[in-house]
Each structure stands twice: as C-alpha cells, then as structure tokens.
Amino acid sequence: MKVDYLGRLQQARRIVVKVGTSTLTHASGKLNLNRMEQLVRQLADLQNQGKEVVLVTSGAVGAGLGRLGLNERPSSIIERQAMAAIGQGLLMQVYEKLFSEYGPIVAQVLLTRNDISDRKRYLNARNTILALLQYRAIPIINENDTVATEELKIGENDALSALVAGLIEADLLILLSDVDGLFTADPRKDHSATLIPVVVEIDQHIRAMAGGAGSSWGTGGMVTKIEAAQMATAAGTSMVLMNGNEPSRIQRIFNGEPVGTAFLSSHNVVSSRKRWIAYGPQVNGAVVVDAGAERALLRQGKSLLPSGISELHGEFEEGDMIQVVNSEGMELGRGLTNYGMEHLQKIMGKKSIEIEMILGFKTADEVIHRDNLVITALN
C-alpha cells in the first residue's frame, strides 16, 4: 500500500528530538563534540523556521565515564548515578555553549518516574515545558539518573521521549540512533535485509522484526524503539527513526525527502488521561482473566468484572496500576484497580452482586472500569 506521508512529516510544527548515547559519544565514551555541534545547528535552524523544538538527550553517564577516563559502563546503579552526577553538568555545559553560538535559549528539565506516575506532577511537567516553548526556549530533557532508583526509573530515553511527545502533544518525534531505521531483518546478520520506509500500523509482524540491544554504550535496542513508536503514534505523534551519525539529515525530513523509517500517527488517538494510564504509573501487579473476559475487553469495550479473573500476581492496593493478562501471559491492557490484592483474592471469580456480601462493602461493580482501562494488546 502506497502512503503519501512525507507531506505530513514536513508540516510538523512541534517536534521532539531524542539523541542516544551512541550518537553523542565516541567509542571511548567521551563526548563527540563535532556531532553535537551539527545537532545543535540543526535544532537551532528548525526553531528559526518557526518550529517548536524539544531535545531529549542521553549521554550523562557516558560523559561522566569519559571525564573520569573509564572504559566500561558500571553495573551498579549507585556507580551509574555517580557517573550521571558528574556527566550531567558537563553535558549541559556543552549544550549551553553550542546553542548560545546560534541564538536559542536552553533550559534543563530532569524527570523521574514519580513525575510521570503522579497525575498532578505529570500535568505540571507538561505546563512547564509548554511555558518554555512559549518563551522560545529549547527544553533539554533527561531522566534524573542521579536520584532515580532502578524500580523508579522510567527506563530507556526512547520511552521518555515518547512520553514527552505525548505529554506536550507533539506532531513529530525524531529518534536519532545508531541504526538507519527498521529493517525486514537484522542487517548486521542478514545482508538481504531491506529498510522499511514507512509503517502505517504497528502490529505483531512489525514487533517481530525488532532485534536485541544496540551498541555497548547505549542501553536501548530496536524493541524499545518499536515500543516508543507505539506510544507516540497512539498519542497522535508520528515518529521517524533514523541514524544520528549525520544530524544534518534531519533537515531532509522537512524538505519532504524520505529518511529512515517513519511510523505514522494512529487515527484512533488515545486521550491524554488514557495515555497517562497506559504509560505513566508504575505497574504494581497483574490479574489473569479467562477467555470470556478477554473477549469482553478486546471486542466489546467492557469493564473488567471480578467474575472474569482467575489469578492474581504481585502486591497492589486500591487505586494502583495493574496489568490485565490472558492465560498465556500476554498483556491485554492496563488500568487502575478499584480493589486491592487482599480484597480481590476474596471476590475474584465471583459475580458483582456478591461483592458486598463477601467483603461487607462494595467500592464498585467493576474491578477496573473501562474509563480507567487502556487496551494495549496489538492485533
């Protein structure tokens, strides 16, 4: 199917650009200043064209490693936090110097999982970034690796950039990586692999093309990039995955030329609140549902009732985010539960009319109301 997508990308006004560690640093781990200068020039020029630009950057840990003359990324989170503390200041110092040569004002924004999980802080982050854009500043965003513990980390900056794109309703997300785009197979292993120029819908076939982790300096792989594309396109943001070794190629997107792989935004855009439900709060547990409940959720848009639940996993309280999975372990969706683990153990498999008799109270007929449930299962 031929899709005329280049014009859509060309017209994007609010743009999030994510740059990975492998793009920002040499093999030694030290910052690649020449490439950073090219990137900054491109982003400054986009702003000169009247576009709003947000930069999501990796590289703090890598910059810290390079500053200390270390050759390997430390395995412990405490050591990585120390590297980030050293490197984040260096990274911003370089960005500030480079951007100042071309005019744009920059602002540092550091986020943690708590900033995304809490609805009020999530909205506050959105308002802050939008205010910066009104001032014609370029927000430079990174996860606050210095204080984020492993269980509270957002994860890859691919995911962070997709969250930010959805947060501010960006038109386009550009992922700069060490790959040219999505291929039919791993081009490092299969020389017959061909680049896929455009993806209209992310399904199981597209996900199956994702390989393992990328370079030794980066932390992401193609899997995280597909997940970022799924998050972004569901929020109404198109995404381009392209190689970051020549940042000047960014301008080709806005010249209407094909670059890398474009993932087109979904026609069924998820609301802001449901995007937050799907990707914001930390998942604290899971419920396993039977085939009948699976059909009701996926095909009929129903709420999750206690009668359809067969198993519980993890520890969770009322109001927590939990996964809904089928008997084969495939995630069907995520939602905010009306009942905690202790109470749900007593009412799972039971009808809603029995809840009050069993518990002595009833918060709701549904374990997860459809308004608080987001279906994440792919076709």
Taking only the tens place, the pLDDT of each residue in 241-300 is 999 999 999 999 999 999 999 999 876 666 778 877 877 778 889 999 999 999 999 999
Averaged pLDDT, 181-186: 86
Averaged pLDDT, 177-188: 85
100, 219: one domain:
yes
214, 351: one domain:
no
Structural domain that includes position 354? 282-375
Number of domains in the chain: 2
Residue list for the binding site? 18, 58, 145, 157, 177-178, 219-225
288, 223: one domain:
no
Phi, psi of 224, rounded to the nearest 5 degrees: -65, -30
Write the CATH number for 329: 2.30.130.10
Of 237, 253, 274, at which residue does a domain stop?
274
Taking only the tens place, the pLDDT of each residue in 107-145 is 999 988 778 878 888 889 999 999 999 999 999 999 876
370, 237: one domain:
no
What does the angle CA 264 – CA 266 – CA 268 come to, to the nearest 5 degrees? 170
Count Cβ neighbours within 10 Å for each residue of 160-174 and write b for 16 or more, e otherwise.
Answer: bbbbbbbbbebbbbb
Of 274, 305, 320, at which residue does a domain stop?
274
What's the DSSP call for residue 303?
P
193, 59: one domain:
yes
260, 297: one domain:
no
What count of other Cβ atoms lies within 10 Å of the Cβ of residue 234? 22
Taking only the tens place, the pLDDT of each residue in 67-95 is 888 877 777 878 888 888 898 999 999 99
Residue list for the binding site for ATP? 18, 177-178, 219-225
130, 227: one domain:
yes
Which residues are bridge partners to 54 per DSSP?
16
Taking only the tens place, the pLDDT of each residue in 295-321 is 999 999 999 999 999 999 999 999 899
Residue list for the binding site for substrate? 58, 145, 157
Query: Which region among 44-53, 277-286, 347-356 has the lowest average model confidence (pLDDT)?
Result: 277-286
Q: Are 337 and 318 in contact (CB under 8 A)?
A: yes
218, 342: one domain:
no
Q: Which residues, at least 6 apart from 74, have a Cβ–Cβ distance to it below 8 Å?
A: 80, 83
230, 299: one domain:
no
pTM score, whole prediction: 0.81
Q: Is residue 1 part of a domain?
A: no
41, 155: one domain:
yes
Write the CATH number for 141: 3.40.1160.10
Q: Is residue 78 part of a domain?
A: yes
pLDDT of residue 152: 42
What dihedral angle (degrees, nearest 10) is formed by the CA atoms of 184, 154, 51, 106? -130
- Banded model confidence at residue 187, pLDDT cuts 50, 70, 90: confident
297, 159: one domain:
no
